[in-house]
Amino acid sequence: MFLKIMFILAATMTLGGAFLTAYTKNLMHACVYLLVSLFGVAGLYATLGADFLAATQLVVYAGGVVILMLFAIMLTGGIQNFVNKFGLDKVPSMGNGKTYTIAGLSMIITAFIIMKVLAPIFKTNVQGELPAFASTVEEIGVLLVTDHVLAFEISSILLLGALVGAAVISRPRRGK
C-alpha cells in the first residue's frame, strides 16, 4: 500500500512538474519545475525497485543538468531583453485547423495500430507474484567491471573529451 501511494505521488510530481515547466513564462521557475519533475522520475525509479537508476537520476540530472541550466540562465540574464519578430507578448501560431486535423487523425490511426499489435500480449499475460525487492547496485557494478568494461572505459574517455572541449571553448581569447 505504501509503495502504491509513493508511486502515485511520484507520478503526480513528474506530470505536474512537466506541465508547469512547459507552461511557465519565467525561465528560473521553469528550471525549478523541471527539478521537481526529475525528482518525481527518481521517485518512480525508486518505487519500481531500480535504486541505482534513482540515484543516477538525482546525481546526473537533478544535480548536474538543472544546476548547469540555472547557472546559464543566471550568467546570461534570462530573457528580460528578448524581443522576437512577433512582438514581446505574441507567440507565433504553431498550426491551423487543417494541420491539427491531420495530426489528430494520424494519432488515432497510430493508436489503433499499436493497440492491434499489443492486444495479444495483454490477453495472454497472467500476472504472478512479484519478486522480493533486491538492490541492483551490486549487479550493475559487477557487470560494469567484468562484461561491459570496454563500454565503461569508452564512456569515461568520451566524458573526458567533453570536459576538455568545454574548457577550450570557454577560455578567454587573447588579443581580442
* Tens place of pLDDT per residue across the chain (176 aa): 888 899 999 999 999 999 999 988 888 888 899 999 999 999 999 998 888 888 888 988 888 888 888 887 777 765 555 555 555 555 556 677 888 899 999 999 999 999 898 888 777 766 777 777 777 788 888 888 889 889 889 988 998 898 888 878 877 777 65
Could you read off the pLDDT of 15-25 as tens digits, one per residue? 999 999 998 88
Residues 45 and 54 sit within 8 Å (Cβ to Cβ): yes
Question: How far is Cα 157 from Cα 3, in angstroms, rounded to an integer?
Answer: 39
Cell digits of residue 44? 518512480
Location of C-alpha cell 540562465: 73
Question: How far is Cα 135 from Cα 112, in angstroms, rounded to an integer?
Answer: 38
- Candidates 44, 69, 42; CA nearest to 57 is 42
What pLDDT shows up at residue 40? 94
Location of C-alpha cell 494519432: 107
What pLDDT shows up at residue 18? 93
Neighbouring residues of 41: CB distance < 8 A, sequence distance ≥ 6 = 10, 14, 57, 61
Residue 12's alpha-carbon distances to 39, 40, 168, in angstroms, are 11, 8, 41
Secondary element (H or E) of residue 160: helix 149-170
Given CATH 3.40.50.850, say whether it is the number of domain 1-81: no
Residues 58 and 51 sit within 8 Å (Cβ to Cβ): no
Residue 53: Cβ-neighbour burial (10 angstroms; 0-12, 13-18, 19+): middle
Residue 97's alpha-carbon distances to 1, 25, 94, 103, in angstroms, are 46, 26, 10, 10
